[in-house]
Amino acid sequence: MPELPEVETIKRDLNRYLRSKKIKTVEVKLAKIVKPSPPQFQKLLVDQQIEEVNRRAKLLIFRLSGGFFILTHLKMSGQMIFTDGQKVLAKGGHLIKDGDKDLPNQYTHVIFEFADGSHLLYNDLRQFGWLKIVDQQTLQKELVKYGPEPLEPAFTQKVFAQLLEKNPRPKIKPFLVKQEKIAGIGNIYADEICFYARINPARVIKTLTIKERKDLFLGIKHILEQAIAKRGTSADQYVDARGQQGGYLPYLKVYGRAGQKCKRCAGIIKKIKLAGRGTHFCPQCQR
DNA sequence: TTGGTTGTTCGTTC
DNA sequence: TGAACGAACAACCA
């Protein structure tokens, strides 16, 4: 499930390969994935150069030479795969078991072919993700819906404190994943941030002490930065060109560990449902 | 086999 | 009025 760290990792990888690549052809195999409709989509992209890849929240933004942008959301199972025609050089997003064999395959919905013969594939098992072409104005309109970027210097402890002050009623975990409040935190990292701060994810915000609010703030910065450093939870060690140890998965303290021993105390990790989402925490050291 | 899983949107309810 | 909740989306897995 790509959250901020995974999307940031893909962004960095794609920037290494896609800058100044010229789009030669675009093949859309599943029409509902793209906007506008495939013929228009193709027409707007062919002969365009990709100038830069950016990220806002969990969105990837490809800036094109003609002033347009490709805006894309991977949702739960979208992947961006860059290949030189021989082998995969970059791959990011949710890992799919055998989902990247024999590319392109049944999960490949969009194929960009570049002038130099390399390709960018959009793969998506569940077909919830999308790619759309927008102009500058539409892009701005789409992006203002999101809260601050938690890793930007502008996101200070004071800004976070004011945000909590303005939203006293929600429970902390469901609040952390609200994109219009803070951009980019999803289900996995919200649980990890609560664990870091030793706070029960069901705590109502107005009951949090000053110290707990500070710890949450530090947790947001620390957990997200660590996850980026490890190339995200779904990082594939096989494909990692620099041979780094495999991703953030081994560092998860609570997510997906229900019934297992807490790594900090003698507690057993519990799984509950909050706002309809699986939530993992240690009842003993998260109060 | 049915239910759980996921991010986001949308419609409904409080 | 707006917050909060559930369903829907799709496909896989337990």
The string of pLDDT tens digits covering residues A169-227 is 889 999 999 999 999 999 889 999 999 999 999 999 989 999 999 999 999 999 999 99
The beta strand positions in chain A, using DSSP E, are: 21-28, 34-35, 49-56, 59-64, 69-73, 78-83, 88-93, 108-114, 119-124, 130-134, 270-274, 277-281
Chain C nucleotides reached by a protein CB under 7 Å: 3-7, 9-13
**How far is A234 from A252, CA to CA, in rounded Å?**
12
Active site residue A213: no
- Going by pLDDT thresholds of 50, 70 and 90, the confidence category of residue A130 is very high
Q: Which nucleotide is nearest to A99 (CA to C1')?
A: C12
Q: What is the CA radius of gyration of chain A?
A: 20
Q: Mean pLDDT over residues A4-25, rounded?
A: 93
**Given the residues A2, A38, A104, A201, the one annotated as active site:** A2
**Given the residues A11, A58, A91, A213, the one annotated as active site:** A58
- Going by pLDDT thresholds of 50, 70 and 90, the confidence category of residue A248 is confident
Is the pLDDT confidence value at A239 over 50? no
User: What's the pLDDT tens digit per position in A41-99?
Assistant: 999 999 999 999 999 999 999 999 999 999 999 988 888 999 987 778 777 776 555 55
User: Can you give the distance from the CA of residue A92 to the C1' of nucleotide C8 in angstroms?
Assistant: 27
Q: Mean pLDDT over residues A248-262, rounded?
A: 87
Active site residue A58: yes
Q: Mean pLDDT over residues A230-252, rounded?
A: 59
- Residue A101's pLDDT is what? 63
Q: Which residue has the tokens 């962004």?
A: A11
Protein residues bordering strand C (Cβ below 7 A): A 76, 97, 125-128, 169-170, 174, 275-276
Query: Is A149 exposed, middle or buried (CB count within 10 Å of its CB: 0-12, 13-18, 19+)?
Result: middle
- Going by pLDDT thresholds of 50, 70 and 90, the confidence category of residue A153 is very high
User: Can you give the distance from the CA of residue A6 to the C1' of nucleotide B5 in angstroms?
Assistant: 19
Q: Which nucleotide is nearest to A75 (CA to C1')?
A: B7
- Residue A22's pLDDT is what? 98
Do residues A15 and A7 touch, judged by C-beta distance below 8 A? no
A3 touches strand B (CB under 7 A): yes
- Residue A105's pLDDT is what? 85
**How far is A99 from A268, CA to CA, in rounded Å?**
34
- Going by pLDDT thresholds of 50, 70 and 90, the confidence category of residue A245 is very low
- Residue A61's pLDDT is what? 94
User: Can you give the distance from the CA of residue A149 to the C1' of nucleotide C9 in angstroms?
Assistant: 27
- Going by pLDDT thresholds of 50, 70 and 90, the confidence category of residue A27 is very high
Kindly report the pTM of this predicted structure. Answer: 0.92
- Residue A242's pLDDT is what? 38
Chain B nucleotides reached by a protein CB under 7 Å: 4-9
- Residue A127's pLDDT is what? 87
Is the pLDDT confidence value at A243 over 60? no
Give bridge partners of residue A190 from the DSSP assignment: none
